[in-house]
Amino acid sequence: MSHEKILHNEREAANRLGVPASWLRREADADRVPCLRVGRRRMFDLEAVRLALIERAKREAVARG
């Protein structure tokens, strides 16, 4: 059984995704990337965020034609 961490705090997630923490926070607050809110904290499942960004990129590519 793997004991890999599934949820990451904002800073950890941003570092692993290669994006600024402030960008990730704004995207989560705008509901453009999934997160779990625990009080004032945001926790991120990296795979769910990656999938959301891939889907968004596909939609934007189609919209550009």
pLDDT in tens, 8-56: 999 999 999 999 999 999 999 999 999 999 999 999 999 999 999 999 9
Whether 2 is covered by a domain: the verdict is no
Closest CA to 14 of 55, 40, 53: 53
Dihedral sign for Cα atoms in the order 50, 54, 55, 60: positive
Q: Maximum CA pair distance of the chain?
A: 44
Whether 1 is covered by a domain: the verdict is no
For residue 58, pLDDT beyond 80: yes
Range of the domain at 50: 7-64
The pLDDT of residue 43 is 98
Q: Residue 37: give its domain's CATH number.
A: 1.10.1660
pTM value is 0.84
CA dist., res. 35 & res. 51, Å (int)? 13
Whether 56 is covered by a domain: the verdict is yes
